[in-house]
Structure 1
Amino acid sequence: MKKAVLFSLFLSVIGIAAHAQDCGTGFLGTKTLYKIGKMRYTPAPAGYQPVFINHVGRHGARHLTKDVSTTFTYGFLLKADSAGQLTEKGRQLKKMVLNLQKVEKGNTKSISAEGRTELKFIGERMFNGNANVFAKQPKITVDITKEIRTKQSADAFLVGLKDNLRDSVSIAEATDDVNLRFYDESPAYSSYEKDGDWQKYKAIIAKAEHVDEINAAITKRLFTDELLKTLNPKSEEKIINDIWGFATIVYSLHDEIIQVGLKAEDLNFTSLYTCDELKALGRADAAEDFLVKGPGVKPNGLQVIIAAPLLANFITTTDEFIKTGNYNARLRFAHAETISPFAALLGIVTADKVAADINKFDTNWQAAKVIPLSSNIQWIFYKKKGTAGYRVKILLNEQEAHITGLKTGFPYYKWSDVRKLYVAKLAKLHYKLGDDAVAFLKAVK
């Protein structure tokens, strides 16, 4: 009898452990916190020193972009609870949503403490690895977008960078939505994003990952059968999307959760899912990013072409430095929708591969590695005294990047080779240096 009881208790403990297991963070995709591995840089060619940096980065880890109380799910949960139509899991969800509202109240659209830390350390590493660029009286330009989180990200980055700079540093700041939010300037892209054929490819992944069944299973855990009978597909989709947004944002809010007197388990939205469900939904989410922001299934897709103005801007500002030496660094702070297409257009090997078979889209492209929070692309230019040419090392998330189309020179490519490759690429897209960016984006199909 005792053995039977002990065995039953053992099974119970195993069940609890399985339910409470750590599913990791592989499902977070673009909400993945910025982490770098071991930084093992190839030594520069003898005599070469860094002299100029051209950079664009995504904003840091952030809060939600809209108030919790304005979401469909917030109001729906309150009404369902009043009607007694929430299950135990549903009541847990309601409590977590109310907790999240405490954390997020007044913070929406801003970066979090985690985001400030991410950017500060990137700024520090930029200086430590390229002190020669910032010697004497450096001049720096900082371009941001209309969103406050890019301004906050720039400020956090500069805290890390300026801690090491002399007071004589000159910083010029401007807003540049055309080059950094190019996707907003293209009517064709807006149509593609809303009704493009990418949706049929995402549907293939959704079917393979049994997303509809997962969504149905989750709502069944939350609501009574009585309510489920009245829940239409659009409402169900809104609820599932809101919960996913809540679940993935919490990882960016560690300090803010503690500040309001809560613990991580008070906002454990992932407890509503199994690990397999998180993995499946994360893959479906990443597939959408791949199709809408990444290389997609066709070479030179619209979602990549629209980054042409930013590439042209990088080339012309580099040309200006070589000609005048006016600025030592050009820093830009933008969004995932900026970084991913730009990385694809540049031909960064881990970010540019289209998927002939959508089921294999993540073989060569992973959102967490291409566009995590605070993701960035750096062109670092090197010069040797007494020589005419420049070398350039391109980094994706501070890692040396191979460039498709450049067979020799990695990672210190000859600037003349890089420039030739990219000017030719722009020409194929019918975009020339000096062309009006807005006109191009409005005309591109």
Structure 2
Amino acid sequence: MRKALVFLLLIFLSFCNYSFSEQAFDVRKHLSTVSRYGVVKDVADNGFTPFVIPNGCYPIHLNLVARHGTRSPTKKRMRELDNLAAHLEVLIRDAAQQRLPLQKVPSWFHGWQSPWKGKLKGGELISKGEDELYELGIRIKERFADLFKEEYHPDVYTVKATQVPRASASAVAFGMGLFSGKGSLGLGHHRAFSVTSESRASDILLRFYDCCENYKEFRKQQEPAVDKLKEPIFDEITSALVGRYGLNFTRQDTSSLWFLCKQEASLLNITDQACSLFSPPEVTLLEWTDDLEVYILKGYGKSLNYRMGVPLLEDVVQSMEQAIKAKEERHAPGSYEKARLRFAHAETVVPFSCLLGLFLEGSEFQQIQKEQPLKFPLKPPHKRNWRGSTVAPFAGNNMLVLFSCPANSTSQYFVQVLHNEHPIPMPGCDSSDFCPFEVFKEKIVSPHLKHDYNTVCNVKLEHPQQKDKSSKIYLMYQWLFSLGKDDNKFLTDEL
């Protein structure tokens, strides 16, 4: 009897472990840069212990660089989903005509239409995105109450956004949270505040990538190479889908279904349709291909990606120096800037994170300081620091908080870096999140300042063997992926 009970208990525990492991995989945490902020913002490195800020230290200035909140698909991607709906209909009809069994076909395929069918516009901030920024503004106000106790003035709390509507709408939602209770408008006692923007054609602080001719040429040349990198993964998963559901899916179908999964899970909180087509290992591989694309085209894969963001880094440091000067000269409260708040895009947040040296591993910070190329993020199941869902989810952000520490004998001013509101290690400051301001400038900022924006972006680069080199890279990467190598030995700075 006892043995029977033990046996039943073991079966029960095995079932529980299986159920828990299945439930533990949340596809919404594996959507790369399409991840919703509230789902991933608290996913942090459990091995990092934040620095304990000494008593007597207090914040005197805050810089924020944030991505816009969750948005709807663009018009181009909505057309892709309409094409997917039409092709699913063809696949099912062809299978029926060939008298193939349709019992494996998911029921939602029959008559499926895109949730955005008929929409004429796209890319706008949705209500979830508004909530993300509004609540972020409230949390920052509560966390740094002394910084935001002054009477509002546009020169004290500077709010900037790009001219793209979803970025400026994010700035407005954030400001409504930050300044709630400070005015007389409506039940929330809101107040009007200023959001300024530069012209798209000249915004080298927040849309530097749009003004950088060398970067635009690089993107145009390398996007086909990135697609080649992803092909083996998509082909493998396409083959699995064909075997699993009995329909003659193409690589484009797999790509579109993965895109649909990300949109459904992030925007609509639906995970039992497109996302359920893929197994957890397949999701992690698809996530990795997205992360790889972000790494190559926006991140550490090419030094140009982040060097063009130097004007933004200079602007951040300048604002800190002005705050220090105001404190040293004892300017009257309300007469100097307390916060500089910026709202832009993943193409802004990712390079800025790279300029700070975030999400690097081992000796990689020393490598980029010496202008040596880095390896790609490791392929699953290997662990990696570089994850799009962490680096730049919707509403993803970097905050640099300047502290005054009058009692400190070595330095009176320190910079704390928060990523998605959590302290994050800076390799340039002995992997601390709390760095003496002079060390921050010397070790992290100064090495980048030798790269002038105009030289980086507009001086024509010579690549006499570019065509041959690119074709060789295609072959090498295809060979790499066909062998399934995880420890990539090819140097990404060649891209």
Structure 1 and Structure 2 fold alike (TM over 0.5): yes
Aligned equivalents of 1:311 and 1:399: distance in 2?
20
SS in 2 for 1:239: helix
Using the TM superposition, give the Cα deviation of residue 154 of structure 1 relative to its aligned residue in structure 2, in angstroms: 1.2
Q: Would you say 1:101 and 2:88 are equivalent positions?
A: no
Q: Would you say 1:403 and 2:426 are equivalent positions?
A: yes
Q: Would you say 1:175 and 2:184 are equivalent positions?
A: no
Q: Which residue of 2 aligns with 1:283?
A: 288
Q: Would you say 1:417 and 2:439 are equivalent positions?
A: yes
Q: 1:165 to 1:403 in 2, by over 3 A?
A: farther
Q: Deviations over 1:288-328 (max 9, x none)?
A: 112112212xxx62222222121112122323333456221
Q: Which residue of 1 aligns with 2:457?
A: 441
Q: Would you say 1:184 and 2:187 are equivalent positions?
A: no
Q: Which residue of 2 aligns with 1:52?
A: 61
SS in 2 for 1:417: helix
SS in 1 for 2:123: coil
The answer as to whether partners of 2:290 and 2:388 remain within 8 angstroms in 1 is no
Q: Would you say 1:199 and 2:225 are equivalent positions?
A: yes
SS in 2 for 1:395: strand
Using the TM superposition, give the Cα deviation of residue 419 of structure 1 relative to its aligned residue in structure 2, in angstroms: 2.1
Q: Which residue of 1 aligns with 2:180?
A: 163
1:372 aligned to which of 375, 382, 393 = 393
Using the TM superposition, give the Cα deviation of residue 119 of structure 1 relative to its aligned residue in structure 2, in angstroms: 1.6
Q: Which residue of 1 aligns with 2:236?
A: 213
Q: Deviations over 1:108-135 (max 9, x none)?
A: 2122222222222221121111111112
> What amino acid does structure 1 have at the position aligned with 2:356?
L
Q: Would you say 1:392 and 2:415 are equivalent positions?
A: yes
Using the TM superposition, give the Cα deviation of residue 63 of structure 1 relative to its aligned residue in structure 2, in angstroms: 1.3
- Which runs of structure 2 are paired with 1:273-352 in the superposition (5 Å)? 273-296=278-301, 301-324=303-326, 326-350=336-360
Aligned equivalents of 1:204 and 1:245: distance in 2?
18
Aligned equivalents of 2:374 and 2:77: distance in 1?
39
The answer as to whether partners of 2:209 and 2:216 remain within 8 angstroms in 1 is yes
Q: Deviations over 1:243-299 (max 9, x none)?
A: 222210112323xx8xxxxxx47x721133233322222222221112112212xxx
Aligned equivalents of 1:216 and 1:276: distance in 2?
15
The answer as to whether partners of 1:51 and 1:133 remain within 8 angstroms in 2 is yes
Q: Would you say 1:146 and 2:163 are equivalent positions?
A: yes
Aligned equivalents of 1:405 and 1:289: distance in 2?
23
1:122 aligned to which of 132, 136, 157 = 136
Aligned equivalents of 2:192 and 2:204: distance in 1?
24
1:27 aligned to which of 20, 27, 30 = 30
Using the TM superposition, give the Cα deviation of residue 395 of structure 1 relative to its aligned residue in structure 2, in angstroms: 0.9
Higher helix share: 1
Q: Deviations over 1:216-249 (max 9, x none)?
A: 4446777866xx7xxxxxxx45433332222101
The answer as to whether partners of 1:114 and 1:252 remain within 8 angstroms in 2 is no
Q: 1:216 to 1:148 in 2, by over 3 A?
A: farther
Q: Which residue of 2 aligns with 1:233?
A: none
Q: Would you say 1:66 and 2:59 are equivalent positions?
A: no
Q: 1:187 to 1:46 in 2, by over 3 A?
A: same
The answer as to whether partners of 1:182 and 1:441 remain within 8 angstroms in 2 is no
Using the TM superposition, give the Cα deviation of residue 204 of structure 1 relative to its aligned residue in structure 2, in angstroms: 5.5
The answer as to whether partners of 1:49 and 1:382 remain within 8 angstroms in 2 is yes
Using the TM superposition, give the Cα deviation of residue 346 of structure 1 relative to its aligned residue in structure 2, in angstroms: 0.9
> What amino acid does structure 2 have at the position aligned with 1:101?
W
Where does the alignment leave 5 or more consecutive residues of structure 2 unmatched? 1-14, 97-101, 185-189, 327-334, 462-495
Q: Would you say 1:78 and 2:95 are equivalent positions?
A: no
Aligned equivalents of 1:349 and 1:268: distance in 2?
33
Using the TM superposition, give the Cα deviation of residue 378 of structure 1 relative to its aligned residue in structure 2, in angstroms: 0.5
Where does the alignment leave 5 or more consecutive residues of structure 1 unmatched? 1-13, 229-235, 258-263, 432-436
Q: 1:277 to 1:80 in 2, by over 3 A?
A: closer
SS in 2 for 1:174: coil
> What amino acid does structure 2 have at the position aligned with 1:115?
G
Aligned residue pair count: 395
Q: 1:318 to 1:356 in 2, by over 3 A?
A: closer
SS in 2 for 1:373: coil
Q: Would you say 1:427 and 2:429 are equivalent positions?
A: no
Q: 1:36 to 1:27 in 2, by over 3 A?
A: closer
Aligned equivalents of 1:347 and 1:444: distance in 2?
27
> What amino acid does structure 1 have at the position aligned with 2:277?
L
Q: 1:90 to 1:222 in 2, by over 3 A?
A: farther
Using the TM superposition, give the Cα deviation of residue 57 of structure 1 relative to its aligned residue in structure 2, in angstroms: 0.5
Larger deviation: 245-254 or 164-173?
A: 164-173
Aligned equivalents of 2:414 and 2:307: distance in 1?
26
Q: Which residue of 1 aligns with 2:148?
A: 134
Aligned equivalents of 2:245 and 2:253: distance in 1?
11
- Which runs of structure 2 are paired with 1:352-371 in the superposition (5 Å)? 356-358=374-376, 360=378, 363-371=384-392
Aligned equivalents of 1:117 and 1:268: distance in 2?
25
The answer as to whether partners of 1:137 and 1:170 remain within 8 angstroms in 2 is no
The answer as to whether partners of 1:58 and 1:333 remain within 8 angstroms in 2 is yes
Q: 1:169 to 1:46 in 2, by over 3 A?
A: farther
Larger deviation: 47-56 or 313-322?
A: 313-322
SS in 1 for 2:425: coil
The answer as to whether partners of 2:88 and 2:109 remain within 8 angstroms in 1 is no
Q: Would you say 1:250 and 2:264 are equivalent positions?
A: yes
Q: Deviations over 1:368-406 (max 9, x none)?
A: 221122110001112246999422111111111222222
Q: 1:203 to 1:398 in 2, by over 3 A?
A: same
Using the TM superposition, give the Cα deviation of residue 330 of structure 1 relative to its aligned residue in structure 2, in angstroms: 0.7
Aligned equivalents of 2:134 and 2:42: distance in 1?
17
Q: Which residue of 2 aligns with 1:231?
A: none
